[in-house]
């Protein structure tokens, strides 16, 4: 066989050898291009390692191979592991800790691609004896975090330059090695200089306050979701989007608890100089549930439907096609870093599950507040000031129930609400609806 006589071929007729290789390749000339490229790679790689001249001794041979795959031979203390199959589960645990375990006075330094790999936890309470004003000064906190992060980045670069021997430089390097050794893929990234570190503040207190804010909205929201064919538990996605901050506005213009963009919202609701229905918890919940349902009908998977709420339906379809899989674990593993599918999109579903779990934990000890209002619709256009006066509702209460009406609507005397416009009024005022040509839409 030619494999057994490789030395003879190598040391003998080179022309015969190259002709032989060419004939092997030509057999597959009808195959698709990608398979031909793979075939050529493996043939050339095979001959590269098989036909090392016989005068090269074993030690040099190993050094030669070592240069081909540095990470493989430097991972002498790396923990062996199989292909990751529980990527999402690990991320869920990370976010549960962020939402429940770590207070707002802590900052986690962790790997961006593998967030469960936490390198350090900066606790400003423990640092307060050294820095007396640290709990009050955000700038001081940022300065401290920046110094920690810079030092850890230097440490990760040392692993790229020195391999596992970087542990000799100090405790931070040893800490990094201990953390990254838990995941063979992350450890390989470390040795190849591909590690990107990130900081994440603990938000346990903020999440608890968000749960309390949600209590007066949640029951009604669950009804809206169920009515639109979406499981009621998916209302917890609002914690990820806005922490139930009804006044939330992102730096790109996304507004309300569901962080709807103007272009998306206008397909479903009023967004103009007088009205912005994204600011209404219930109206925006109807839109959010419809988007989730549409995503599910297209993708046939709730994890993908939720991911598409963040990354876009087209973006998730591209991820499926690229990954050749409809499993979120596979998509995160294969597609991460491609076409803006980064930290936010890859963690969105895990954040949702974590928020759902922590919310359910709190909900066992709290009661939902009954929705003390009814939804009404106007039968014809009506002036806003006249409407409020006839319903005998104070302006503050009306504004709280109907945040979708902008301040300009109240300041413009000739502003009319359009026919069929949905409003919320106190339940004890519904008997006055006939005075303003309105009818009960939802109880």
pLDDT in tens, 27-51: 445 444 455 444 454 444 444 443 3
3-state per-residue secondary structure call for the chain: CCCCCHHHHHHCCHHHHHHHHHHHHHCCCCCCHHHHHHHHHHHHHHHHHHCCCCCCCHHHHHHHHHHHCHHHHHCCCCCCCCCCCCHHHHHHHHHHHHHHHCCCCEEEEEECCCCCCEEEEEEHHHHCCCCCCCCCCHHHHHHHHHHHHHHHHHHHHHHHHHHHHHHHHCHHHHHHHHHHCCCHHHHHHHHCCCCCEEEEECCHHHHHHHHHHHHHHHHHHHHHHHHCCCCHHHHHHHHHHHCCCCCCECCCCCECCCCECHHHHCCCCCECCCEEHHHCHHHHHHHHHHHHHHHHHHHCCHHHHHHHHHHCHHHHHHHHHHHCCCCHHHHHHHHCCCCCCCHHHHHHHHHHHHHHHHHHHHHCCCCCCCCCEEEEEECCCEEHHHHHHHHCCCHHHHHHHCCCECHHHHHCCCCEECCCCEEEEEHHHHHHHHHHCEEEEEC
Share of the chain above pLDDT 90, in %: 65
Residue 416 or residue 441, greater confidence: 416
| pTM as predicted | 0.78
Tokens of 105: 């006075």
Choose the CATH number for 205-363 among 3.30.60.50, 2.40.30.10, 1.10.530.10, 3.90.1150.10.
1.10.530.10
Q: Whole-number mean pLDDT of the chain?
A: 83
pLDDT-derived band at 375, boundaries 50, 70, 90 = confident
Q: Are 212 and 245 in contact (CB under 8 A)?
A: no
Q: CB-based contacts of 307: which residues, under 8 Å, 6+ apart? A: 316, 328, 331, 345, 348, 349
How far is Cα 192 from Cα 177, in angstroms, rounded to an integer?
Answer: 14
- Residue range 356-368: mean pLDDT, rounded: 87
Supply the pLDDT for residue 239: 98
How far is Cα 161 from Cα 345, in angstroms, rounded to an integer?
Answer: 32
How far is Cα 428 from Cα 395, in angstroms, rounded to an integer?
Answer: 16
Supply the pLDDT for residue 51: 39
Q: How many residues does the chain have?
A: 443
- Where does CATH 1.10.530.10 sit in the chain? 205-363
Supply the pLDDT for residue 6: 37
Residue 202 or residue 440, greater confidence: 202
Supply the pLDDT for residue 26: 52
pLDDT-derived band at 366, boundaries 50, 70, 90 = confident
Residue 367 or residue 143, greater confidence: 143
Supply the pLDDT for residue 307: 98
- Give how far the C-alpha of residue 431 lies from the chain's centroid of Cα atoms, to the nearest Å: 46
Closest CA to 191 of 176, 202, 204: 176
pLDDT in tens, 332-351: 999 999 989 999 999 999 99
Supply the pLDDT for residue 72: 40
pLDDT in tens, 58-92: 444 444 344 334 434 443 333 343 343 589 999 99
- Residue range 264-268: mean pLDDT, rounded: 94
Q: Are 402 and 280 in contact (CB under 8 A)?
A: yes
pLDDT at 268 over 80: yes
């Amino acid at each position: 066989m030619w494999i057994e006589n490789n030395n003879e071929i190598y040391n003998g007729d080179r022309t015969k050898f190259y002709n032989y290789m060419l004939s092997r390749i030509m057999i597959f000339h009808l195959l698709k291009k990608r398979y031909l490229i793979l075939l050529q790679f493996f043939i050339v790689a095979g001959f590269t390692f098989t036909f090392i001249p016989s005068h090269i001794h074993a030690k040099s041979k190993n050094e030669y191979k070592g240069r081909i795959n540095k990470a493989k031979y430097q991972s002498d203390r790396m923990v062996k592991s199989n292909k990751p199959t529980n990527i999402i589960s690990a991320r869920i645990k990370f976010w549960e800790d962020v939402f429940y375990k770590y207070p707002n006075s802590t900052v986690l330094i962790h790997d961006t691609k593998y967030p469960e790999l936490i390198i350090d936890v900066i606790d400003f309470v423990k640092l307060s004896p050294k820095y007396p004003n640290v709990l009050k000064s955000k700038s001081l906190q940022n300065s401290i975090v920046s110094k920690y992060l810079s030092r850890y980045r230097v440490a990760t670069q040392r692993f790229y330059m020195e391999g596992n021997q970087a542990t000799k430089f100090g405790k931070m390097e040893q800490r990094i090695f201990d953390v990254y050794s838990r995941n063979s893929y992350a450890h390989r990234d470390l040795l190849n200089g591909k590690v990107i570190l990130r900081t994440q503040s603990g938000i346990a207190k903020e999440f608890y306050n968000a749960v309390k804010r949600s209590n007066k909205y949640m029951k009604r929201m669950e009804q809206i979701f169920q009515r639109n064919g979406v499981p009621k538990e998916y209302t917890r996605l609002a914690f990820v989007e806005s922490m139930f901050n009804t006044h939330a506005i992102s730096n790109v213009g996304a507004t309300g608890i569901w962080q709807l963009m103007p272009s998306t919202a206008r397909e479903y609701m009023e967004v103009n100089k007088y009205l912005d229905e994204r600011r209404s918890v219930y109206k925006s919940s109807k839109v959010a549930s419809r988007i989730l349902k549409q995503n599910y009908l297209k993708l046939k998977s709730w994890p993908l439907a939720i991911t598409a709420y963040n990354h876009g339906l087209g973006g998730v379809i591209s991820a499926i096609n690229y990954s050749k899989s409809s499993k979120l674990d596979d998509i995160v593993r294969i597609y991460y870093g491609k076409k803006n599918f980064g930290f936010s999109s890859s963690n969105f579903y895990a954040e949702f599950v974590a928020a759902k779990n922590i919310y359910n934990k709190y909900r066992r000890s709290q009661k939902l507040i009954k929705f003390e209002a009814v939804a009404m619709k106007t039968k014809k256009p009506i002036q806003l000031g006249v409407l409020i006066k006839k319903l005998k509702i104070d302006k503050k209460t009306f504004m709280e129930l109907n945040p979708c009406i902008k301040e300009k609507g109240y300041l413009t005397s000739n502003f009319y609400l359009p026919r069929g416009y949905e409003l919320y009024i106190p339940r004890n005022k519904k008997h006055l609806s006939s005075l303003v040509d309105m009818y009960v839409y939802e109880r």
